[in-house]
Amino acid sequence: MTDLISLTLAEARDGLAKKSFTSLELTDAHLAAMEAARALNAFVLETPDRAREMARAADAEIAKGERKPLAGIPLGIKDLFATEGFRTTACSKILDNFVPTYESTITSQLWRDGAVMLGKLNNDEFAMGSSNETSCFGPVANPWRRHGANTTLVPGGSSGGSASAVAALLCMGATATDTGGSIRQPAAFTATVGIKPTYGRCSRWGIVAFASSLDQAGPIARTVRDAAILLRSMAGHDPKDTTSADLAVPDYEAAVGKSLKGMKIGIPREYRLDGMPPEIEKLWQQGSEWLKAAGCELVDVSLPHTKYALPAYYIVAPAEASSNLARYDGVRYGLRENGRSIGELYENTRAAGFGAEVRRRVMIGTYVLSAGYYDAYYLRAQKVRTLIKKDFEDCFATGVQAILTPATPSAAFGEGEKGNASPIEMYLNDVFTVPANMAGVPGIAVPAGKDAQGLPLGLQLIGRPFDEETLFSLGEVIEQAAGRFTPPRWWGP
């Protein structure tokens, strides 16, 4: 049974179709793995009864000869996605025991395609964080450790539970969201594959909002092919989301293994940062050589406004968060701390319900939107954002089909090692991922090697709008060249 959890999603799908095993057996194997891995704190809610019910339904459909794309595949769901009848808290005390009466569009599409829900996954509170240390359920542990050390490492954030669970073989794939790198950074830290699709490719309806013009859902999976299979089910137009693009969803899996001959790949000079670790530089060079060997033409490109992406992001995102989080007031749902007046009720509820990082970002956002500072900060940041988007447009207009960059400036770090002295230290983790969110273009992180301490490192590919297919084709070449990595097991009985 334990062998079942080591299958890729594609292998499990084929095994189920051939009736080599049942969905119930596959689901039970993952539920047992979850139980043995509670030390990782990846799941904040386990739903074994619902999982077995869905698995039995999938088995009945498979027995009748029905072929749904994800029939019987056990998945984990980030606690940002509303799941009807099951607690959804965004890992914040302020949504204390909130049970939605509706289903997010993305999860409803996964259930439509036959997937099985194992439970809800841990994340940074309201998706605000780069390490999964801000969750009200406590930090998630990375299944990877440094050679010869017992230090608990972070899995990255905000989708740390999703990345940790996939890397530790607790689920065959997971939903995640990416506002400034929250899919790609944890994927790079855990040797999993994570794709942030083009803004508008996946519906945001039913996902707890952080920054509405930046948030985008996507999958974290074990392989590039698995990510392609999941994205096909997750993507698509949704009339309930006005920012959702009314475009046909391609067969992403068909792009895996396509020839790359003659493809033009850009190497942006602005991503060569001062003080970048030599092993990141070496990995980037290695990735370039792998793509060249596959028939790609590599060209130097310039994205001149890259250096402004991070400061502009940390104005735009908190501003939108300040607006979105105003709805949490203790009146209609979630936590309620009484007060002598309505103002005191709001103050008491928000003080008790929001964690330190969320409070910090709400205050920054409120400040930059205030009357005296709106033009000086928010308006200027939006103008910079337009320039960042134009950099990508100009680059792709020259015939470049994708851009290769590092995914993160370092490997995973230890719990409590960053951000205590200054939050900016933590924010710098998003330096390579934020520009794609500001421009709304797709990006994928693929495991590409290890550092001197045996920790995984990832490379990022950034693509043209709505051209995720090219990213899957390129990502698979890097995956084949680098090989797959699994962490040595240290958790559980």
Per-residue pLDDT tens for 158-176? Answer: 999 999 999 999 999 999 9
User: Locate tokens 């060209």: which residue?
Assistant: 299
Of 443, 363, 410, the C-alpha closest to 128 is 363
Average pLDDT of the residues of the chain: 96
The pLDDT score that the predictor gives to residue 421 is: 65
Which tokens sit at 409?
A: 């400036």
- pLDDT (0 to 100) of residue 1: 45
**pLDDT at residue 132, rounded to an integer:** 96
Residues 349 and 415 in one domain: no
Do 325 and 258 lie in one domain? The reply is no
Sheet with strand 443-450: strands edge to edge: 43-46, 116-121, 74-78, 173-178, 216-221, 193-196, 443-450, 456-463, 402-406, 264-268, 297-301
328 and 450 together in one domain: no
176, 314: one domain: no
Got the DSSP string for 327-351? G-SSSSSS-----SSHHHHHHHHHH
Where b means 16+ CB within 10 Å and e means fewer, 138-174 reads: ebbbbbbbbeeeeebbbbbbbbbbbbbbbbbbbbbbb
Instruction: Give the model confidence (pLDDT) of 313-355 as tens digits.
Output: 999 999 999 999 999 999 989 999 999 999 999 999 999 999 9
User: Is 49 a domain residue?
Assistant: yes
Query: Is residue 195 domain-shared with residue 147, that is, in the same domain?
Result: yes
Q: Do residues 186 and 86 both lie within one domain?
A: yes
Task: Specify the CATH number for the domain of residue 178.
Answer: 3.90.1300.10
> Is residue 182 in a domain?
yes
Q: Which domain does 371 fall in, by range? A: 309-375
The predicted structure's pLDDT at residue 427: 82
Same domain, residue pair 369 and 413: no
Residue 457 DSSP code: E
Does residue 341 form part of some domain?
Answer: yes
Sequence-distant (6+) residues with CB within 8 A of 458 are 184, 187, 188, 189, 191, 406, 407, 408, 445, 446, 447, 448
Nearest to 432 by CA among 297, 293, 307, 302: 307
Decide if 278 is inside a domain.
no
CB-side exposure of 320: number of CA atoms within 13 Å?
18
- Identify which of 86, 328, 346 has the alpha carbon closest to the alpha carbon of residue 210: 328
DSSP conformation class of 196: E
- For residue 158, say if its preceding peptide bond is cis, omega within 30 degrees of 0: yes
**In this predicted model, what pLDDT tens digit does every residue of 391-408 receive, in sequence order?**
999 999 999 999 999 999
Residues 367 and 373 sit within 8 Å (Cβ to Cβ) = yes
CB 321 within 8 A of CB 304: no
Are 413 and 359 in a shared domain? no
Regarding whether 253 and 163 lie in a shared domain, the answer is yes
Instruction: Output the DSSP codes for 310-322.
Output: HHHHHHHHHHHHH
- 301 domain residue, yes or no: no
Residue finishing a domain among 375, 390, 419? 375
Q: Which helix (H) or strand (E) holds 265?
A: strand 264-268
Please state, in angstroms and as integers, the Cα–Cα distance from residue 398 to each residue in 259, 292, 327, 393, 395, following that order: 21, 19, 44, 9, 6
Catalytic residues: 78, 158, 182
363, part of any domain:
yes
Question: Cβ atoms within 10 A of the Cβ of 256, count?
Answer: 21
82 secondary structure, DSSP code: -
Look at residue 25 and give its three-state secondary structure.
helix
Domain termination site, one of 375, 410, 429 = 375
Q: Are residues 117 and 245 both part of a single domain?
A: yes
The verdict on 360 and 409 lying in the same domain is no
**How many structural domains are present in the chain?**
2
Q: What angle do CA 374, 377, 383 make, to 5 degrees?
A: 105
In a domain, 204, yes or no: yes
Same domain, 248 and 349: no
Q: Which residues of the chain have pLDDT under 50?
A: 1
Is 316 a domain residue?
yes
Last residue of a domain, which of 375, 392, 412?
375
